[in-house]
Amino acid sequence: PHKSHVGDLAPPLGWALDEEGVGSELVEENIDSDDSSVNSESNKEGADEECDGKVDVRALALRLQTVKTVEDVEEILKDKGDLPLQVFSTIISGFSKEKKMDSALILFNWMKKRKIETNGSYGPNLFTYNGLLGVVKQSGQFAEMEAILNEMAEDGIAYNVVTYNTLMAIYIEKGECDKALNMLEEIRRNGLTPSPVSYSQALLAYRRMEDGNGALNFFVEFREKYHQGEIGKDDDGEDWEKEFMKIEKFTIRVCYQVMRCWLVSRDNLSNNVLKFLFDMDNARIPLPQVDLERLAWACTREDHYIVVKELYTRIRGRYDKISLSVCNHAIWLMGKAKKWWAALEIYEDLLDKGPKPNNLSYELIVSHFNFLLSAAKRKGIWRWGVKLLNKMEDKGLKPGSREWNAVLLACSKASETTAAVQIFKRMVENGEKPTIISYGALLSALEKGKLYDDALRVWNHMVKVDAIIQEMVTLGIEVTVVTYNAIITGCARNGMSSAAYEWFHRMKVQNISPNEITYEMLIEALANDGKPRLAYQLYTRAKNEGLTLSSKAYDAVVQSSQANGATIELGLLGPRPADKKKKVQIRKTLNEFYNLAGVPKRSQPFDRSEIYHSQTQENP
């Protein structure tokens, strides 16, 4: 510890800083002992208080902290004579650590009584008052402060720097940071020289106010005065060169803490953080890597992505290494903010510059691709689905069945029959086993293109579909009504009503309830195949199950019965359902998807080279 030019202790400072988590970074003031010999040689309760002419201050303090009245103090000290005043100043300062406000006041009142008894020759001095104010700060009994200050004024004791520093600490604890800063100005007005603790307390006040700009400007002014010799020029016992470095370090810490408070605030203060980072650069006290990474971890909301991007860029540009966990966190947040290409850039940096991506990196970036592929699937943007697959392969990411199926479904939705066939072939060539969804999407695309011969060949290739479903069950993959509807639709569209009916029975065996689509496709297939009675039974069955079928299914049953001479009871069919008006959706632009995916707008005819992507071919 360094000795202050005022020669007294300000114990509240170190403890206040410990509460902020930065106590080791600030200056402490220590007691400048006088000629009396004061030390603590024994911690044992009940040990002799005088050993070889020395005072065991610790043992004496342990007894005095139990007193209830001034008389109790007199009883303990009756055989001690007039001990040095520093003994009592030290004991009172020690009471602050234990927050013994009552004990300190009782001892203080005893000292005032002794002052009266000795006509003012033996009583509280400046050090005593400073210690007592320290107890006020630590115990939080701020109401006692005014009374103590009034006692000082009555005794004609002027404040020293330690007094002001302690008052600053009290005001900060009370949340009156403006008053704490005023104390610093009062130090100068009264002709005193602020100590390193004074400047540190001022920075702490700015920290409590979350005023990063105030703290930064304060330090810049302090640094300028220091370099000009206005600060630290007196021979006050301080190593100002070392203290300056501590205050600079503490300023950086305060700035970091303020920015972190901004990030965890409910308000969106991302722009404040960005501006403050540049202000710190301009002030020539940039954040070190450890604080940049800590700030990155504090970014958890979507609107924080601009901060994370800036922090990541700074770490990459200024330091040789970067934590993989920070990179993964940045990838995650970019995805959360729908900035997938920015996330991909970070992943590319991991591949090119290190550190080597791990399984979490892989899973995060694949999840981002899946989000984009799902968007392309919903909107039928098959071309961008293909480009996403190409981009995945370029970055060493192997598309799975989920990714391939998303593109196949996009092709089906866009009625891009040829593209769907090529994607299916490429899927197989890449060693990915087609699933029931793959086949269903391909069949759907072929039907929409009226390529029934090709659909039949696909169906012939699908003879092992039952085994596929069994495999799905074995692997714990849920087989749903959508799965069976895809198969039944494929059968119906290819004139295989018997096969469709067989799959309908298997569906029932698996306790999967058919829906309107199931019944409508199967009824149309049976009616068109000259089986009106069976179609009629299915229609009435759906009606009894509470399902509402379309007029198309109703007409198919009636027309097939008439064409094949079958007798049915129209009354059981009920009234003919109203025709559903087809809602024609006209996609004027694809701006929504382009903005979502962050890709350029482009529309070109189908090119087979887009499907068969070369690893060496540059992806536009």
Q: Is the pLDDT of residue 249 over 90?
A: yes
Q: Span 510-524, mean pLDDT? A: 90
**pLDDT at residue 606 in the model:** 53
pLDDT of residue 16 exceeding 70, the answer is no
Separation of alpha carbons 135 and 170, rounded Å: 10
Higher local confidence (pLDDT), 57 or 3? 57
Phi, psi of 50 (to 5 degrees): -125, 125
Q: Do domains 1-175 and 480-577 have the same CATH topology?
A: yes
pLDDT over 60 (residue 244): yes
Query: What's the whole-number mean pLDDT along residues 264-275?
Result: 95
To the question of pTM greater than 0.85 for the whole model, the response is no
CATH topology of domain 480-577: 1.25.40
Give alpha helix (H) positions in 380-515. 382-394, 401-413, 417-429, 436-448, 452-461, 465-474, 481-493, 497-509
Q: Which band of pLDDT confidence, cut at 50, 70 and 90, is reported for residue 460?
A: low
pLDDT tens figures, 535-577: 999 999 998 999 988 899 999 999 998 898 888 888 888 888 8
Contacting residues for 239 by C-beta, under 8 A, at least 6 apart: 2
What's the one-letter identity of residue 5? Answer: H
Distances, alpha carbon 328 to alpha carbons 233, 333, 345, 389, 453, in Å: 50, 9, 12, 22, 49
Rounded Cα–Cα distance for residues 279 and 287 (Å):
11
- Better-scored residue on pLDDT, 315 or 386: 315
Residue 311 has pLDDT above 80, yes or no: yes
Give, for 335, the enclosing helix (H) or strand (E). helix 324-336
Q: What's the confidence (pLDDT) of residue 612?
A: 60
Could you report the per-residue pLDDT of 23-73, keeping only the tens digit for each?
333 333 332 333 332 223 223 333 333 333 477 899 999 999 899 999 999
Q: Give me the sheet containing 38-39, strands edge to edge.
A: 38-39, 54-56, 50-51
Nearest in space to 33 (alpha carbons), one of 102, 109, 81, 89: 89
* Model confidence pLDDT, tens digit, residues 202-218: 999 999 999 999 999 99
Distance CA 428, CA 438 (A): 11
| Residue pLDDT, tens place only, 88-136 | 999 999 998 889 999 999 999 999 999 999 998 899 999 999 999 999 9
Q: What is the mean pLDDT of residues 614-618?
A: 47
Q: How confident is the model at residue 278 (pLDDT cuts 50, 70, 90)?
A: very high
Answer for the pair 252, 285: CB distance below 8 angstroms, yes or no. yes
Q: Which helix (H) or strand (E) holds 3?
A: strand 2-3
Query: What six digits make up the tokens of 407?
Result: 């593109």
177-189 helix and 161-174 helix, angle to the nearest 10 degrees: 170
Name residue, tokens 């972190």.
260
Measured distance CA(128)–CA(162) in Å, rounded: 12
Residue with tokens 């009824």: 523
Q: How big is the chain by its Cα radius of gyration, in Å? A: 41
Domain boundaries, the chain: 1-175, 371-479+581-615, 480-577
* Lowest-pLDDT range of 34-48, 160-174, 241-255, 372-386: 34-48
d(CA 92, CA 86): 10
> Around 532, how many Cα atoms within 13 Å sit in the side-chain half-sphere?
18
Residue 480: helix, strand or coil by DSSP?
coil
CATH topology of domain 1-175: 1.25.40
Q: How far apart are CA 221 and CA 223, in angstroms?
A: 5
Query: For residue 441, what are its two tokens?
Result: 């999407």
Residue 584 has pLDDT above 70, yes or no: no
Query: Is residue 486 a contact partner of residue 512, using CB atoms and an 8 Å limit?
Result: no
